[in-house]
Amino acid sequence: PYGTSTVWNRIGTNRWVSDAYVLTGHSGYIPGVPRC
């Protein structure tokens, strides 16, 4: 949906995050993204 990564990792019950977020902590171009 964001076009940044096709890989998603399960971080909790019904919670998924793009692999790009998992590796960098943020998308790399949106430093204002809140961390859960």
Task: Quick: pLDDT tens for 3-36.
Answer: 555 566 665 666 666 655 555 554 455 555 555 5
Instruction: Give me the pLDDT at residue 33, please.
Output: 54
Cα 4 to Cα 11, 13, 30, 36, distances in angstroms: 18, 23, 11, 19
Q: Indicate whether 6 belongs to any domain.
A: yes
Q: Indicate whether 5 belongs to any domain.
A: yes
Residues spanned by the domain of 5? 1-28
Per-residue exposure over 3-30, b if at least 16 CB sit within 10 Å of its own CB, e if not: eeeeeeeeeeeeeeebebbeeeeeeeee
Separation CA 31–CA 14 (nearest Å):
24
Block residue for tokens 């019904």: 14
Q: How many structural domains does the chain have?
A: 1
Q: Indicate whether 33 belongs to any domain.
A: no
Amino acid at 10: R
Q: Indicate whether 2 belongs to any domain.
A: yes
Instruction: Give me the pLDDT at residue 3, please.
Output: 54
